[in-house]
Chain A
Amino acid sequence: MVKIGLIGAGKMGISHLAILGAHPGVEVVGVCDTSKMVNDFLSKYGNFNCFTDYQKMISQVKPDAVFVAVPTKFHYSIIKELLEKNIHVFAEKPFCLTVAQGEELVKMAAERKLVNQIGYHNKFVGTFREVKKIVAGGALGNIYHFVGEAYGPVVTNKKQDTWRSDPSEGGGCLLDYASHIIDLINDILSPVISSKGSLLKSVYSSNVEDAVYSLLELTSGVSGVLSVNWSDDTYRKMSTSITVIGTKGKIISDANELKVFFKDSDYPAGYSKGWNVKYITDLTEEVDFYLRGEEYSAQVDYFVKAVEGKVRNTINTFESAWYTDRAISIIKNSTK
């Protein structure tokens, strides 16, 4: 049994907690949250050992690994403390608020050989995994353009402020929402190296942007467009998609449906010339416990297996998330 603790039982934390609670290889040894109401609920009904002070939790329950799901501004200091105590870390996205902080943690985790993972769950979505495979196989020829998009109804009118509306705490559409698709672009194509110009637009929020539009250039030389808006209520929930165009074909994929066009007979096995459509139902591996999407269980299971030494810790490492932090800072700087 892997002994796991959780710091932060908000929306993502509680979702991780339920998945961990149902995982046969995991013993949840402690939960820490600042809300008395949440703690009381979890200790009374879930029988969890709850704390309001994470340091106390760690010293008392001695976890092998900890899930960190607190507002981003606390990531750096908490993760650093955990690594210093040789605890494996799964943290929510985005990774850190500055590139310098992230760099330090990447180094620390590597030196101490600790399992490190960030919750960019799209990497565990079957369609996006398939996009990565097709792109890596070279079947699209010379890739010359991409479009990364994410739309959804998070802030759809003027409302009270929370940490998500404070840029110094990790709020805003760029950090919270756009980071998902930037991370996919980094992973599927190559890391963002510069921006030719970006627009951060406020639609309803007073202190942060609600939409991000940017022209990006990647390390590989490929360029493309980023278009993200979390104030778009024509979407029922977050919709993330990526389009990749090359000299031999084109892919359009979201989390449900992958459409790919191959121009000539040089297509991968299982495909044909012209348009091909594959659905998530064909590309998803069954999980043992389902909550909100297979990818959430799959990423937790992957982390647990990495801690047990059963898989290599290569997906969603601190390092890969650091590239996303860097892209975020590049986009911010390009608006100045």
Chain B
Amino acid sequence: MERILFGDNQFFAVNHISDEKSRAQSIKFKDDQAIITTLDEAIGAGINTFMCTTHDRIANICDIIRANPDKYRDFKIYPCMPYAHKYANAVTELGIAGTLKQYVPGNFLGSLFKGGIAYLSKDYLSIMELLIDSEMKMFKGINTPVIFLQNVITDLLLGLKANEIFVAFHQYIRKKYDAEAGFITMNMPMLLDVLQQGGIENPVICSSINKAGFRMSGGKEIYEKTLQTKKIRAIAMQVLGGGAIPPKEAIEYVCNLPNIESILFGASSKGNIENTVSNIHHFDKTRL
């Protein structure tokens, strides 16, 4: 993985601290061209990996990338699935079974919902595989070396102790897409233990890691200890703690932690992208 990964929250009005900023972002990135312009600015600053949700609009971005193979030759995408709000809103409206009916492709589920039919538990993993394939369709022909499970799903499964699903996800991503499985979580130390117990060595885990301890469940100390003592390929996100920490201080903290392979951030302006990149390079060089 590259040291710096570019995120997509800003493109889809995801802002953890302000609804107003979120609307401003929605307006700014109304057209796909605005997203491409910002991606090009990130590439200009030396970032060649875009980590993004499987939002409908990413399909358009993928079309543009495929249409310009020379320009995007070294460009990689790390898909993060599923785009949770799509399913969450559907579950509110249609229920769990109704949502699966709507999103699982083909007639696969028809027999499952007619009731009374015994089905094997491996069918759940088949449903998962079908959902992965349907989410991955938009990335056809694009280099996707790491494929992530989004935090809402990861953490839901973690709480339910459905640990086998993680292993199945990991295996399927490797087998079908020749890629590494990644996991986004808000509960990194707990997840790492579970993945190791499941035989997934040195897993790619993306989680909030910041000086303020924001969204670091169980506390910052447990995270720091985990990074120091365990085998993990960590990606730090929310390094600015939702804006609570001054940028330089924030980057300095993350750059000095062990085992952080990559830093994920998103920004809307060229200036902010360049500043963050230069801060990371600076603190990587002066690392204690």
Contacts and interface: CB of A to CB of B under 8 A. Distances in A.
Given A239-B19, A254-B19, A256-B18, A290 B155 contact: yes
By size class, the interface of chain B is 35 or more
Interface in B181-223: 186-187, 190, 212-219
A236 B14 contact: yes
A73 interface: no
A47 B161 contact: yes
B114 to A, nearest CB: 11
Nearest to B164: A45
12 contacts: A11-B95, A22-B158, A42-B160, A44-B124, A45-B163, A236-B22, A256-B16, A279-B243, A281-B212, A281-B244, A289-B217, A290-B186
Interface of B: 12-20, 22-23, 26, 85, 88-89, 91-98, 112-113, 115, 121, 124, 152, 155-165, 186-187, 190, 212-219, 241-244
A45 B160 contact: yes
Given A286-B216, A289-B190, 17 more contacts: A10-B96, A20-B159, A21-B159, A22-B187, A36-B115, A42-B160, A46-B160, A48-B160, A236-B14, A257-B20, A280-B16, A281-B17, A281-B214, A289-B187, A289-B217, A290-B155, A291-B156
Interface residues of A, number: 49
Instruction: Pick the 9 closest A-B CB pairs, nearest first.
Output: A18-B159, A45-B162, A290-B186, A46-B160, A281-B244, A281-B242, A22-B159, A290-B217, A279-B17
B93 A155 contact: yes
Choose among B23, B92, B157 the residue with the greatest number of A CB atoms under 10 Å from its CB. B92
A287 interface: yes
A336 interface: no
Contacts of B162: 41, 45-46
B160 A280 contact: no
Given A18-B158, A257-B17, A38 B96 contact: yes
Given A45-B165, A256-B17, A280-B16, A291 B155 contact: yes
A239 B152 CA distance: 18
Interface string A43-59: 01111100000000000
Choose among A19, A22, A155 the residue with the greatest number of B CB atoms under 10 Å from its CB. A22
Task: Determine chain A's interface SS by DSSP, over half rule.
Answer: mixed
A287 B163 CA distance: 22
Interface stretch (A94-102, A117-125, A158-166, A216-224): A158-166
Interface of A: 10-11, 14-15, 17-22, 35-38, 40-42, 44-48, 153-155, 159-160, 162, 164, 234, 236-237, 239, 241, 254, 256-257, 279-282, 284, 286-292
Nearest to A42: B160
Contacts of A10: 91, 95-96
Nearest to A23: B159
A159 B158 contact: no
A147 to B, nearest CB: 15
A44 B242 contact: no
Contacts of B216: 286
A46 B166 CA distance: 12
A46 B161 contact: yes
Contacts of A236: 12-14, 22, 85
Given A22-B190, A256-B16, A289-B190, A11 B96 contact: yes
B117 to A, nearest CB: 9
A160 B19 contact: no
A37 B99 CA distance: 13
Contacts of B218: 286, 288-289
Contact of A11 (B91, B121, B213): B91
B124 A45 contact: yes
A155 B244 CA distance: 35
A40 B22 contact: no
Contacts of A35: 96-97
B93 A286 contact: no
